[in-house]
A and B are shown apart, each in its own frame.
Chain A
Amino acid sequence: MTVPLRLGAGFVLALIYGFILLPLVVVIASSLTAGELMQFPPQGLSLRWFARFFADEALMQALVLSLRVAAVTTVAVTVIGTMAALAHRALSGWARQWLRTGLLLPLLLPELLTSIGLLFFLYRIGLGKTLIGLQIAHAVVTLPFAFVSIAAALDQLDPALEDASNSLGASGWDTFRHIVLPLVRGGIVTGALFAFVTSFDMFTVSFLLKPIGGNTLPLALFDYLSYDYDPTAAAAAAVSVVLAIAGVVVIEKLVGLRNL
C-alpha cells in the first residue's frame, strides 16, 4: 500500500471511531459536570450526579430489574440458542431453512409488531403485565442474536472432528462436551454477550410489556428525562457503559476476545 493510501485509510478509520465513540465521550463527560444542567463541555468536575443516581430509589430498582431480566435472558437464550444451532447443523434441506427463518423472525419483524403480538399472546395465556411475561418477551427477541452467533461458530467446525471423536468411541455427549463446546465457546460467549446487551437496553418491548409497578432502566430513564433534565440520566448512561466494558473485560480474561 502506498503512503497516501495508508494515510487515507487511517483517516477513514479515525472518522469511524470518532463517529462511534463521540456520543459516549459526550455522555460520560456531561455526567461528570458540577453544574445543574446536562451540557457539554461539563462545568467543573464532580461525582455528585452519580451519587444522586445511586440514591434514587426508582432508578436503582429499575437498574436491578434490568440486570436481573438481562441475566435470566442471557442464561435461557444461550442454552436454547446453542440447542437450536446444533439442531440447525444436524438438519438439511427445507427443514434447515425453515428453522433458520423461524428463529430469525423476531430480528426481521419490526420490534413494535413483535411486542404487540406478544402483548396479545401473553394476556391470552394469563401472563400479561407480569415479570415472567416480560422475561419471555426478552428471550424471544434476543434469541436470534445468540442463535446467529453460535450457528456461525458451528459452521466453522470441521465435521471430521466429530467423526473422529465418534469413531474413537465417544458418546454424543462426550463429543459435545470435549470437542464441540470448547471449539465453539467463542461463538457462544459472543451470543451471550449480544443477548445480554440487547436485553439490557431493550425499550419498545419492555415499554409495552413491563410488569405492573416494575420499570427497567431504559424506561425509568425515559420517565426521568420527561420531568428532569439533569445529569443524573447521563450518570445512569455512564454506569451502563462502564458495566458493558466491565463485561467485555471479564470475557476477554476468561476466553480471550481473539477467539470470538
Chain B
Amino acid sequence: MTEVRIAGLRKSFGGQPALVDVALEAAPGEMITLLGPSGCGKTTTLRCVAGFLAPDGGDILVDGRSILDVPLRRRDFGVVFQNYALFPHMTVTQNVAYGLRVRRIGAAEIASRVAASLAEVGLTGLGDRLPRTLSGGQQQRVALARALVIHPRLLLLDEPLANLDAQLRQEMRALIRAVQRRQGITAFYVTHDQAEAMASSDRVAVMERGRVAQFATPREIYQRPVSRYVAAFTGEASALAVTLRAAHAPDRYTVGLGDAQMEVPGAAGLSPGSRHFLMVRPQAVTFGPSGIPATVREVAFFGATQQGEVELAGQALRFVTDPNERVVAGETVHVTLDPAHAWLMPEAAA
C-alpha cells in the first residue's frame, strides 16, 4: 500500500509551461484520475511520476520519500501505455515475464507469476501468441498483466482505453478497477473521458492549463464544481450569471436571476452583492404553469428523452425532459429549477 503526495510540480517545454503548479495526493489503495482535455498537463504529470520526465520544480513523495532522485528503473511503478507499447518481437508470455527477467528472478518463479498474472486478466492459453495476432482489448490486457506482474508500488495508466471501442472500453474499465481494488494498488489514471473518470475512480483531479482546477470525489466534482470549466468537463451543464442577494447558511444563498429570485446551494463563503455563475444541470429544469418565463430556442427528440435549450433572462439554459412533454420551439414556457441539481459556483461572473 503506497501513499503519494505531489506538491508544486512545474515543467515547461522550450519555455512553454506544461505544468504550472500541480498538487495532488493519493491515499493507499486509492485510484486517482487526472481528467482534462489534451494539453492540460495530465499526461505530463503522469510522465513525471513515472520518471520519463524530470520536473523543473516541486516534489513527488512516495510513502514520505522524494522519488525525484530515484532512477526510473528502480521506482517499481507499473505503467500502462495508450498504445500498449508491447514488445512486438516477444510472445505474450515473454512480454509479461520481461520485468521479472531483468530482475534476474528464477525461471520457476517467473513461470508461476506470469501464469497467475495472465489468469488475473483473463488471458490464460494465449501465452504463446505474438502481440500483433491479438485484438486491441487483448493487447491492453497483456500490457496490464505486464505492469502488474512486478508487484508495482504504484500503477500508472495513460489513457489505457483510448484506442478501444465503446463496448470493450467498459469491460476493460471494470477489469482495471477490479484488479486495482483486489490488489489494493494505489493508481493514477489519465483520461479525457469524463464517464471513464466518474465511474472508476475514488477521486478525480480536473486539470486546466497546467493546474489542478478541482480535486475531489466524482460526486463532488459533478455536483459542486468550482468553475464553468469543471462543470462542462463533467457533463452537460449551463452556467447562468446570477446576483447573490443573501446568504442563509454558509452554503445556502438567495440569488436573483432577472426579476426572479430563488434559493440554491453553493460554495461556502460567498458575499452578498457579488455576481457568480450558477451551474444548472439539464435535469434540474422542469416546465410548469408557474415559474420564470423563458423562450424555447430549440428542442430535439432523442427517444428516451428530449433535450434542448431555452432562453431565460437573456441567457441560454439546457434542459432535458420526458419525450412526451409538449415543448415547442418559439413558445414561451415557465421554468422551475430543482436546487438539488444546481450549484452556485465560486467563479465570479461579470
Contact = CB atoms under 8 A, between A and B. Distances in A.
Chains A and B form a bound pair: yes
Interface of A: 158, 160-161, 163-171, 174, 178-179, 182-183
B85 A168 contact: no
A160 B87 contact: no
A168 B146 contact: yes
Contacts of B150: 168-169
B98 A158 contact: no
B81 A169 contact: no
A96 to B, nearest CB: 15
A179 B87 contact: yes
B73 A164 contact: no
A160 B85 contact: yes
12 contacts: A160-B81, A160-B83, A161-B85, A164-B79, A164-B86, A164-B146, A167-B75, A168-B99, A169-B102, A170-B73, A170-B98, A182-B89
Contacts of A174: 102
Contacts of A164: 79, 81, 85-87, 146
Contact of A167 (B77, B87, B88, B89): B77
B346 interface: no
B52 interface: yes
A178 B87 CA distance: 9
B107 to A, nearest CB: 16
Given A158-B83, A168-B150, A183-B89, A178 B50 contact: no
Most buried by A among B72, B76, B78: B72
B182 interface: no
Contacts of A163: 50, 52, 79, 81, 85
B210 interface: no
Given A167-B51, A167-B79, A169-B150, 4 more contacts: A164-B87, A166-B51, A167-B50, A169-B73
A4 B147 CA distance: 55
A236 to B, nearest CB: 41
A166 B81 contact: no
A178 B73 contact: no
